[in-house]
Amino acid sequence: MSDMKRKRNVLNVKQKLEILQKLDKGESASTDAEDVLNEGNPISHSAALQSVETLLDYMGQRGFYYGDITAVRKICIDIRQEMNKQQKQRLITDFFKQQILKEKFLV
């Protein structure tokens, strides 16, 4: 595979400059770099949920404010709801696939 066809996960000059400017201001830039490097590599709902639940455990151990913990719990709920939507969609799709197969064999 040639270098031209292979997708490269690198930061371009503009992205590097923006990250360096944030670092100069004392801001965190690690998530910006991670976002660029993770483009095209979607994170699964289960992996995201596991990470957020780990964050909740950490926050509980470190004594974070209740409001912050509640906000992160809301993220867990949102992820679970999205997972349930996808599961329902798969069940519906599977049902229709079975119906189509039944019709093909009855004809």
Tens-digit pLDDT string for the chain (107 aa): 344 434 444 456 666 667 667 766 766 655 555 555 555 667 788 888 898 999 999 999 999 999 999 999 999 999 999 999 998 988 888 888 888 887 777 75
Element (H, E) at 48: helix 45-62
The answer to whether the pTM exceeds 0.75 is: no
Predicted pLDDT of residue 103: 79
Predicted pLDDT of residue 98: 86
**d(C-alpha 28, C-alpha 25), whole Å:** 9
